[in-house]
Structure 1
Amino acid sequence: MDPVAQAVKVLRSGGLIIYPTETCYGAGADAANQSAVDKLLRYKSRREGRPLSIAVTDQTMASKYIIMNTTAKNLYNKFLPGPLTIVSAGRHKLAKGVESETGTLGVRIPDHPVALALVRRLGRPITATSANVSYKPRPYSIKQLLKQTSKKQQGLIDYIIDAGTLPKRPVSTIVDTTLDDPLVIRQGKINIPPRGGIISKSPEETKKLAQTLCLKYWKDLQTKPLMFLLIGDLGAGKTVFAKGIGAWLKIKQPITSPTFTIEKEYDWVRYGIKGRFLHLDTWRLQHLEEFEALGLKKQLLPKTIMAIEWADRSFDYLLKIARKAKVVILSLQTEGAASPTHRRITFGR
């Protein structure tokens, strides 16, 4: 039996395979089989909310599992097949754990004959996550893979397609298209220039953007504070964005604007990790001394997320104290009476 046929047999039985892709070795499971996906998640260990992307044969197969908007379709037509993962709203037809916590799903059309043959012969998507255990280097050979995995993890692998040492190519680019305007989550081999901004059509979309960014910078948050500097007029959506952070952190208390208290603090526990969320409204602060009195520099610790509304009131000072933090600057603007719920959100001042 040829390797692809044997691998498909394993996939049909709910097994876990290792297979070559155009970037590195991937870990494949039948994305519609819950026990197979659970096995893959045990193999990968720490996923911390990140979705498992899937490999499909074409747009027709993709559309069965995601809602493809015009932005996504344009990216499919221009770049796929190839090392690009396009994130869209999922249709919730796959096993639990494949889609993200917010119901989004990353899709790839592989540009590798083996990967494509696996999906085609199986007749439905397989997972397209890299075969490395979480936070370990991406494997370009089976020898490297086995060296960095434990015996327990190796015991979860049912079949390996060994294509030798793969070329060390860059990772795939990941683009979120759920807000219509493309948002680059990870820049990889395919270079997609960052857009100046996106249009949020509702408060829920603004919250979803906050959650997407929290997940994007989750790894950074483990070793440094994450600071969101929010700029925008009254009613532009700054507090709504903060509510999205609170929702993603599963904070039970209502997130309200701290206009009169200036600062509100919340404890959170996410994926077994404890941290703090500081929400500030600096509208009433007029002088640098007032900012210094808050003691923000001492509070900028790893696992601390800080969202500061009206950050432009002391922008230079905030950037100065946040030199060791991951800083995300967002400008929010209303789109006028013609589109009262729309907000233009740009990255940068």
Structure 2
Amino acid sequence: MLRDEVKKAFEIIQQGGIILYPTDTIWGIGCDATNTEAIQKIYALKQRAAEKSMIILLDTENKLESYIREVPAVAYDLIEFAENPLTLVMPGAKNISPALIGEDGSVGVRVSKHPFCQQLIQRLRKPLVSTSANISGQPSPQNFAQIAPEIIDGVDYVVNIDQHDLSVKKPSTIMRIDPSGMFEFIRK
């Protein structure tokens, strides 16, 4: 079942589509992080201002250097020892769509531990965009049952995994980290 869902999601993303999918935090809307047109579809669906960036998911921290110019050594320790899912906002974003890069050149990156995300990212060989499955300004859904119908209807594919899991999920912790290794919490 997992393999089938990864295959279907992969095919949709390859065609420039957007998906609704489970992550190790809350449900996300995603696409290929190098496809600007697909990213713009997500902004339109969420009714979100383009200045509000979205994050990318990787399947392993070994790929950080492919998408961030200078990864501070402490970033690897933070990822390894984080008790909860952790998004690191770092400057020097590269090899992704400009639509994902903040005005300061940064992007938020999270290494996902969710098996679906890991397998899809491995198959894509690119990062996966991730943003909460809600209209901008509305509360983030804590499980699939709380996702608004217009979000479900607005994506090209809804991944059929974890939809019946009603446990309450939280967004990731977000930290900004600069090349010197200085960091600050944005969301705990």
> Which range, TM-score by smaller chain?
0.7 to 0.9
Distance 1:26 1:166, change over 3 A: farther
CA distance in 2, matches of 1:155, 1:90: 35
- Return the letter of the residue paired with 1:181: M
**1:141-180: CA deviation from partner (whole Å, max 9, x where unpaired):** 4442134x3xxx5553100013223421322100000262
Percent identity for Structure 1 against Structure 2: 31
Higher share of residues assigned strand: 1
Match of residue 34 from structure 1? 36
Q: TM-score, normalised by structure 1?
A: 0.49
CA distance in 1, matches of 2:33, 2:168: 27
CA deviation after TM superposition for structure 1 residue 48, in Å: 5.5
CA distance in 1, matches of 2:157, 2:170: 25
Which has more radius of gyration?
1
SS at match of 2:63: helix
Which runs of 5 or more residues in structure 2 are unaligned? Answer: none
The 8 Å contact of residues 16 and 31 in structure 2, kept in 1 or not, is answered as yes
CA distance in 2, matches of 1:171, 1:142: 14
1:114 to 106, 113, 116: 116
Q: In the alignment, does 2:81 pair up with 1:78?
A: yes
1:161 to 152, 159, 162: 159
Q: In the alignment, does 2:4 pair up with 1:6?
A: no
Q: TM-score, normalised by structure 2?
A: 0.87
Give aligned pairs, total. 182
Match of residue 187 from structure 2? 186
Match of residue 71 from structure 2? 68
Written as runs of structure 1 = structure 2, the 5 A alignment for 1:1-349 is 2-47=4-49, 49-66=51-68, 67-79=70-82, 82-147=84-149, 149=150, 154-162=152-160, 163-164=162-163, 165-178=165-178, 180-187=181-188
CA distance in 1, matches of 2:20, 2:71: 29
CA distance in 2, matches of 1:110, 1:92: 19
Across the aligned residues of Structure 1 and Structure 2, the Cα RMSD in angstroms comes to 2.0
The 8 Å contact of residues 175 and 185 in structure 1, kept in 2 or not, is answered as yes
CA deviation after TM superposition for structure 1 residue 41, in Å: 1.3
**1:50-95: CA deviation from partner (whole Å, max 9, x where unpaired):** 2211000112212100121123222123228x51101111333211
Which runs of 5 or more residues in structure 1 are unaligned? Answer: 188-349
SS at match of 1:60: helix
SS at match of 1:90: coil
